[in-house]
Structure 1
Amino acid sequence: MHTQDGMEYLDPMASRAFAVADHQIAHVYVRRPEDLEATRAALADLPGIEQLLDDEGKKTHHLDHPRSGELVAIAEPDAWFTYYYWLDDARAPDFAQLVEIHRKPGYDPVELFMDPQDPYVRLKAAGALARKKLGMRYRMAVVPLDPSPIRGSHGRLPRAMTWTPGRSSCAPPPTPSPAASRPPM
């Protein structure tokens, strides 16, 4: 972590371990193998984590690809992972309240909401949209720092095969191969 202008920014390349959160899945990257057990122990008892997959668990769930984290955390059914890494909202990075998908280290579903604590949030949004319409640069700085409005998510392992995505076609199903069961690299 480094601080710039009073705001905290994640520095994953200098971190011994960090997670990339995506709804109900978080890939945990551990720089040094000797830190893996300490990382696992730090995560093991956190509320909201149902499973922590190691190499064997990743193979079982077809998540064992080169870009996968050393550990993969699976959220409980009613929980999800946020990318928020700061402890004090006053030190949140400048992009935290923006619709800024490329600078955030993980998906931020809170971007779907406007900050209910800001009485001028609709005026700010209207001003940003007007600047956009005029072809000017704009910043949509209307996102709250409170993730509690998020009531649902997706991405975790299905509870049963009946909960998996379906396929409907007149053609016969393709014959699966081990290479076809993995996402493209």
Structure 2
Amino acid sequence: NRIFRKRGWLQVKDELGLETLDCGGSKVFAVADHQIAHVYVNDTSIADEVREVVLAADGVEEIRESSDLWGKGIAADRGGDFVAVSDEDAWFTYYFWEDDSKAPDFARCIDIHRKPGYDPVELFLDPDLKFPLVKIAKFLAKKKLGFRGLMDVIPLNANLVKGSHGRDTVAPQEQPVAIGRGAGQVTSAEEVFFWIRDSLTNSVSGDSNAR
């Protein structure tokens, strides 16, 4: 989103001195989800240029067309015009502001519904806060008394996150392990669901393949 903003494609709205993303007013914007990002192109005249810019961005391995991923249906209608996939040692943030002092109030909170993308930095307390637990306690006390407030204790430093997921091509040593009878027949992430389902079904019927 910051790359799009520098290109003049992304618009923000000023709300009491803070910035929020204007999806409808933007020519293009992205919704980040770990190691993939849905890219929505509102201005089709720059669609090819957007793809070139995304592919050239540091940390991007490839882009995939939504039509190739989902075909027709709700996924294609709601998903991005194309999907960017990060390098194995990178991930996408949703950040769209250029000055942390203008970040929206929800950026420093756990607020999954207002953030245009997943924010794993919510796993951390801001290391610059001297007494974060005291601040949290004050917020809870105010809430108990009926006052409104923000529990703004989340940092804005994406470098704190040292791992991610989302790619469908992962090095063997980084892949999950399925343990149980019949697990050796599982060769893809999609097959894991069916293996678990069949194992549970057989377990209920008394013929378990997973112990």
TM-score by length of 1: 0.80
Q: Deviation string for 1:35-72 (max 9, x for gaps)?
A: 10111111111111111112564359xx9621111110
Q: Deviation string for 1:24-45 (max 9, x for gaps)?
A: 1110000122110111111111
What CA distance in whole angstroms lies between the structure 2 residues aligned with 1:19 and 1:114? 26
* Alignment partner of 2:93 out of 75, 82, 97: 82
1:141 aligned partner: 152
* Alignment partner of 1:35 out of 26, 31, 46: 46
Q: Secondary structure at the match of 2:92?
A: coil
2:208 aligned partner: none
Cα RMSD of the aligned pairs, angstroms, is: 2.6
Q: Return the offset for 1:85.
A: 0.6
* Alignment partner of 1:54 out of 56, 65, 76: 65
What CA distance in whole angstroms lies between the structure 2 residues aligned with 1:15 and 1:35? 12
1:10 aligned partner: 21
Q: Return the offset for 1:120.
A: 2.8
1:112 aligned partner: 123
Q: Deviation string for 1:60-101 (max 9, x for gaps)?
A: 9xx962111111001111111110011111111111111122
What CA distance in whole angstroms lies between the structure 1 residues aligned with 2:25 and 2:45? 16
8 Å Cα contact 1:158-1:164 kept in structure 2: no
8 Å Cα contact 2:66-2:83 kept in structure 1: no
8 Å Cα contact 1:25-1:72 kept in structure 2: yes
Match status 1:102 vs 2:113: yes
2:102 aligned partner: 91
Identical pairs, percent: 44
- Against the structure 1 CA distance between its residues 3 and 138, is the aligned structure 2 distance closer, same or farther, given a 3 Å change threshold? closer
Aligned length: 171
- Against the structure 1 CA distance between its residues 45 and 77, is the aligned structure 2 distance closer, same or farther, given a 3 Å change threshold? same
Partner amino acid, structure 1, of 2:55: A
What CA distance in whole angstroms lies between the structure 2 residues aligned with 1:147 and 1:5? 25
Q: Unaligned stretches of 5+ in structure 2?
A: 1-11, 173-185, 203-211
Q: Return the offset for 1:142.
A: 0.3
Match status 1:156 vs 2:167: yes
- Against the structure 1 CA distance between its residues 118 and 163, is the aligned structure 2 distance closer, same or farther, given a 3 Å change threshold? farther
Q: Unaligned stretches of 5+ in structure 1?
A: 173-185
Greater helix share, 1 or 2?
A: 2
Q: Secondary structure at the match of 2:78?
A: coil
Q: Return the offset for 1:106.
A: 0.8
What CA distance in whole angstroms lies between the structure 2 residues aligned with 1:9 and 1:58? 30
- Against the structure 1 CA distance between its residues 157 and 101, is the aligned structure 2 distance closer, same or farther, given a 3 Å change threshold? same
What CA distance in whole angstroms lies between the structure 1 residues aligned with 2:107 and 2:150? 12
Q: Return the offset for 1:4.
A: 2.6
What CA distance in whole angstroms lies between the structure 1 residues aligned with 2:19 and 2:80? 24
Higher radius of gyration, 1 or 2 = 2
